[in-house]
Amino acid sequence: MLDKVADRAGKAAGGASGRAKAPGIDVSGVREAGQADRRGSMSKSDRGTIFELRDLTVKYGGTPAVKDVSMEIAAGEITALIGPSGCGKSTLIRCFNRMNDLIPSARVEGSCLYHGQDLYGPEVDPVEVRKRIGMVFQKPNPFPKSIKDNIAFGPKVLGLDDIEGRVERALHGAALWDEVKDRLDENAYSMSGGQQQRLCIARCIAVDPEVILMDEPCSALDPISTGKIEDLMMELKENYSIVIVTHNMQQAARVSDRTAFLIVELDAEERDRWGQLIEYDVTDKIFTNPADSRTEDYVTGKVG
Amino acid sequence: MPNPMAERTRLATAGAHAAVVGNLGKQPRGDVWRGNLFLALLLLAVVLALIGLIALIVQSALKGAPAFSMDLFTEGPSIVNPETAGFRPAIIGSLYLIAGVVLLIVPLGVGAAVYLEEYADGDRWWNRLIELNIQNLAAVPSIIYGILGLAFFVRGPLSLGFVVAAGSLTLALLVLPTVILAAREAIRAVPPSIRDGSLALGATQWQTIRRQVLPASIPGIVTGVILAVSRALGEAAPLLLVGAATFVTADQPNPFEGGYSAMPVQIYNYALQAQDEFKALAAAGVVVMLVVLLALNSFAIWLRNRYEQQW
């Protein structure tokens, strides 16, 4: 049993050893460059708070999926949401750009402030919200069009100018230009899964959002494609704030500045279950010295 | 630690082996026999359906053979002189009818389908009522639409008279449920992830429908429209009620004025005449219609295969 934990810790730390806290996972050795970036962006969090959740509860048809979440998300950082299946992390991330509106039975209570303005206020148009807060989904979902048209779609419907330039810049931004510059007119479905996901990221940044939400962006990808997306995320955070949901704790440890840990809570009769935020802190702290024992159990692989 | 695990693994492997060996033996004789009988029945059904279709085509072709000539397309109707009788006004009338039907069913059918799939809340009782009714309407006999057309388009509220427009309206009503159902299927086949992707970029719901959902569902919609048109082309019963005549000699009917004819009605009329020459003419007309219908259906299949998107 201990072998297993040590093994996971080893993987998380990229094989590096350091000031490991006994069964805990040490992330200090992960990717030197990433470390530097993270330190750098810690000071950048002076850029302020981009989202502020206050007692946010989301219900599907009256049953809460996630309850009483309060947290602040800093601008210019990568914030990871982790936790076991069914803990509401996908529900939570879909609150940030009002994608939950698309599910008729979903109700959002509490408030979700974006630069101090409640996204769920009566005067807020969800379309305007999504123009500023883009999203990348679990399964790559390119449109059944050419690579170029996939990226041009957003700028076109938003009435932006310089479509050609935007397409090229977005593809450069998603580190895809060199791979596809000679086949921009080919159907996007001719690309590999990893390329498709980077195309979706390019599509997202082509409309200049301020925030990119990523809902398990690598869960359908192989490790090499996953690595490319993670590298890309480290570059993107120079210009965008990123919130990522991930099943993969190592991924959270590798890329994120802050990590929120959610669990599935059961009521006394074990009939209702909902997601609850347990701990939210700097990623180093969550993975090396978590305040809550449940966080420690999860990140060390004892549960979940 | 390793020893009990190895023992467990060994037992599990042995169990799986026993289960596989037990299941891979010969099937009981009765099962084989029943399986073959079922396959034979299925083949019989296919063969019977094919024989029916082939017999119809061959018989019509043989019977109509003496009447095949360009006269079919260039001459007007006659009940005295079969040598110079043809389908010209009927063909033109049918083309007019179909053009009207397409103009009516494409916007109405696609519009209704988009509303039902993309906007309507399926939990509301009125939307469920609409859905149920559309499905039922697709099964209503065509003669009833003829009576409806007579009461509402020819006389009554619209009072158009016995004109092409009334015929088009009646046929359009007849096939509209088919188009709506086909278009809904096509729209539903577009994965929700495409809508999510579009909406997440800040596109409005209408932009998403107009630029993503509809283009992706065009093959399915067009297939539905062509099948509906094929049906409308072959209908005689409702047209008899809304005034398709058999003695129209004018070439280009004004859709809102004057009599019109149609292929199935003209065929029906020729088939009723006593002389064999007219019966041959009717058979030739059937072949012309079959060719047109098969061509339309082939086009629909080609289109579907050509543009079908693999998600």
Element holding B136 (H helix, E strand): helix B125-137
List pLDDT tens digits, range A223-270.
Answer: 999 999 999 999 999 999 999 999 888 999 999 999 999 999 888 777
Q: A215 vs A81, A139, A231, A247, B284, CA distance in Å?
A: 9, 9, 17, 10, 64
pLDDT at residue A283 in the model: 94
C-alpha span between A126 and A98 (Å, rounded): 6
Average pLDDT over residues B194-213: 95
* Contact predicate B309/B217, CB 8 Å: no
Residues of A in contact with B307 (CB under 8 A): none
Domain B68-310 falls in which CATH fold? MetI-like fold (1.10.3720)
Query: How far is residue A15 CA from its own chain's centroid?
Result: 25
Rounded to 5 degrees, what angle do the CA atoms A58, A64, A66 make? Answer: 60
* Contact state of B197 with A203 under an 8 Å Cβ cutoff: yes
Query: Would strands A49-60 and A133-136 be described as parallel, antiparallel, or unpaired?
Result: unpaired
Rounded to 5 degrees, what angle do the CA atoms A196, A227, A153 make? Answer: 25
Nearest to B194 among A104, A127, A141 (CB): A141
List pLDDT tens digits, range B133-168.
Answer: 998 998 899 999 999 999 999 988 888 888 889 999
pLDDT at residue B251 in the model: 65
DSSP string, A234-295: HHHTTTSEEEEE-S-HHHHHHH-SEEEEEEEEE-TTS--EEEEEEEEEEHHHHHHS-SSHHH
* Residue pointed to by tokens 């007219």: B278
For residue B202, which phi and psi values (nearest 5 degrees)? 95, 15
pLDDT at residue A241 in the model: 95
Interface test with A, best of B201, B206, B210 (most A CBs within 10 A): B201
Average pLDDT over residues B27-53: 91
Average pLDDT over all residues of chain B: 87
Residue ranges in chain A modelled with pLDDT below 50? 1-45
* Contact state of A137 with B212 under an 8 Å Cβ cutoff: no
CB pairs under 8 A between A and B: 70
List pLDDT tens digits, range B73-130.
Answer: 888 887 778 777 888 888 888 889 999 999 999 999 999 999 999 998 878 888 889 9
Structure tokens at A134: 């883009």
Is residue B310 over pLDDT 80? no
Domain boundaries, given as residue ranges, for chain B = 25-67, 68-310
Strand ordering across the sheet containing A117-118? A117-118, A106-114, A49-60, A63-74, A273-282, A258-266, A78-82, A241-245, A211-215, A133-136
Residues of A in contact with B197 (CB under 8 A): 137, 141-143, 200, 203
pLDDT at residue A25 in the model: 40
pLDDT at residue A29 in the model: 38
Looking at this predicted complex, what is its ipTM?
0.81
* Contact predicate A97/A112, CB 8 Å: no
Element holding A49 (H helix, E strand): strand A49-60
pLDDT at residue B203 in the model: 94
C-alpha span between A155 and A153 (Å, rounded): 6
pLDDT at residue A270 in the model: 72
* pTM of the model as a whole: 0.78
Query: Would strands A241-245 and A211-215 be described as parallel, antiparallel, or unpaired?
Result: parallel
